Amino acid sequence: MTGTETFPDDALALWPAPLAHGAVNATVTVPGSKSVTNRGLVLAALAAEPGWLRRPLRSRDTLLMAEALRAMGVGVEETIASNSATSAAPGSPGEPDAPEGGGEAWRVIPAGLHGPATVDVGNAGTVMRFLPPVAALAEGPIRFDGDPRSYERPLHGVIDGLRALGARIDDDGRGALPLTVHGNGIIDGGPVRIDASSSSQFVSALLLSGSRFNQGVEVRHVGSTLPSMPHIRMTVDMLRSAGAAVDTPESGGEPDVWRVAPSALLGRDLVVEPDLSNAAPFLAAALVTGGRVTIPDWPEHTTQPGDALRGIFTDMGGSCEFTATSDGTALTFTGTGRITGIDADLHEVGELTPVIAAVAALADSESVLRGIAHLRLHETDRLAALAKELNELGSDVTETEDGLRIRPRPLHGGIFHTYEDHRLATAAAVLGLTVPGVQVENVATTAKTLPDFPGLWTGMLGSPAGPAPMSRV
């Protein structure tokens, strides 16, 4: 059983999180990065020529992005890419060849963006924030709607920013969904000031479309704090790879100011990295069971925040090494079974918090997780949800102003509610490895970014380790 198919009402379904009988020893292939896939789709849709996304993540958030772009006129074609068998006429003028080596891919064919169209954002921050600027470049009305929680997630940085840059938007004045963007195909662009302290995605959103604005864009963040900087670096890196000229604070520019010059974007052949944030529960499994987990294709250099797991989980008691496999580079993480509490500022890597909190609840000393007040506005109020659900299993967790204080206690089984939050569900699975009787509500919610998580999880617990790494890099 996958745990996602056997119940008539997934929202009420309970998934008995499997106990680990001994140390985990597995190789787990983690699907592609949500953040890279959805940036790749947007940049490819805005490019001057067709492009490829190879090994894209196919999950709720990325399928919503693809569908939204299609609704605005962009071609997003599922294809088995190989150099000899594609429908893309590889090698034709202005058309990048199919990706090397074949495999599953999306071919993205830019077209004149247009409405009328309706975009379902689900509860995807990347869709609700990255696409209104794209819609402002379209001709005709584009309506944005989504899950009930999407109405509560902040969008003011995108709405106010776009208005200041010349877009017309109808909303209900709350700085949130639902809304309609009435584009006429052109945005003036230029300088804009926004407060992105509640989400880095406001900055990324305006930068991603900025090269297509007449004057480009200069985004100045004026808030007190700015979370998730690695995700902004990812935006900048991917824009530059698509040919855009971008100035950043790190390249000698002013603090908190990013500039994208007006230009056409290139169609790219992009191989999507594995989602390192979604590697978190699997690495945690090695840590809490004193086992060993290998993640193939872990990039040696990346902007993904999940790369910070190497340091964080090492500080909590494990060790890791890069290994060369017959297919490339892998990361092998090894636990001892001993877990140490941690005092960590997770401001830059907030999306790692739920799994880290679960590991901290199993540690032999207290943890303090800081810098993550903005998680109250994520898929759910993650600080409240983690405190409540961990305490229901016997832990002693308190919310602080900007995070969580976790005092480990012996835990017992029970229902772990997940609030339609994929990362709450994967965190609960980690607890269930060593705590008998943990039942995860609505494990199907993991499909937001991690298709068939229950299958991958039970595969990890039941499978042999796979081919042994050949040597250290």
Ligand X SMILES: O=C(O)C1=C[C@@H](OP(=O)(O)O)[C@@H](O)[C@H](O)C1
| Contact residues for ligand X, defined by CB under 6 A | 35, 125-126, 199-201, 204, 227-228, 231, 350-351, 374
Q: Tell me which of ligand X, ligand PEP, none is bound by residue 4, counting a contact when its beta carbon lies within the kind-specific cut-off of 5 to 8 angstroms.
A: none
382 is in an annotated binding site: yes
Q: Tell me which of ligand X, ligand PEP, none is bound by residue 423, counting a contact when its beta carbon lies within the kind-specific cut-off of 5 to 8 angstroms.
A: ligand PEP
Contact 465, 29 (CB under 8 A): no
**Least gap, CB of 114 to ligand X (angstroms):** 26
Active site residues: 351
E runs forming strands in 97-248: 104-109, 117-120, 139-145, 168-171, 179-184, 190-194, 217-221, 246-247
Read off the DSSP letter of residue 214: T
Pairing of strands 292-296, 25-27: parallel
E runs forming strands in 122-178: 139-145, 168-171
388 is in an annotated binding site: no
**Least gap, CB of 38 to ligand PEP (angstroms):** 8
> How far apart are the C-alpha atoms of 216 and 65, rounded to whole Å?
23
Residues at the interface with ligand PEP (CB under 6 A)? 124-126, 351, 378-379, 423, 449
Nearer CB in complex with ligand X: 307/339: 307
**Least gap, CB of 419 to ligand X (angstroms):** 16
- Written as one letter, the residue type at 298 is W
304 is in an annotated binding site: no
> How far apart are the C-alpha atoms of 168 and 188, rounded to whole Å?
12
The reply to whether omega before 249 is within 30° of 0 (cis) is no
| Closest residue to ligand PEP, based on beta-carbon distance | 125
**Least gap, CB of 227 to ligand X (angstroms):** 5
Nearer CB in complex with ligand PEP: 218/441: 441
φ, ψ of residue 181 in degrees (nearest 5) = -100, 125
Nearer CB in complex with ligand X: 150/204: 204
Q: Which of helix, strand or coil describes residue 211?
A: coil
**Least gap, CB of 449 to ligand PEP (angstroms):** 6
Contact 427, 358 (CB under 8 A): yes
> How far apart are the C-alpha atoms of 216 and 235, rounded to whole Å?
15
Q: Tell me which of ligand PEP, ligand X, none is bound by residue 445, counting a contact when its beta carbon lies within the kind-specific cut-off of 5 to 8 angstroms.
A: none
φ, ψ of residue 443 in degrees (nearest 5) = -65, -20
> How far apart are the C-alpha atoms of 183 and 189, rounded to whole Å?
13
Read off the DSSP letter of residue 5: S
Nearer CB in complex with ligand PEP: 81/387: 387
Buried b (16+ CB within 10 A) or exposed e, 71-96: bbbbebeebebeeeebebebeeeebb
201 is in an annotated binding site: yes
Nearer CB in complex with ligand PEP: 107/378: 378
**Least gap, CB of 467 to ligand X (angstroms):** 32
Cβ within 8 Å of residue 413, ≥6 positions away: 393, 435, 436, 437, 438, 439
Nearer CB in complex with ligand X: 299/394: 299
H-helix or E-strand containing 269? strand 269-271
153 is in an annotated binding site: yes
Q: Which of 204, 206, 144, 141 is nearest to 177 (CA)?
A: 144
84 is in an annotated binding site: no
422 is in an annotated binding site: no
Annotated binding site for phosphoenolpyruvate: 34, 125, 153, 201, 382, 423, 448
Annotated binding site: 34-35, 39, 125, 153, 199-201, 228, 351, 378, 382, 423, 448
Annotated binding site for 3-phosphoshikimate: 34-35, 39, 199-201, 228, 351, 378
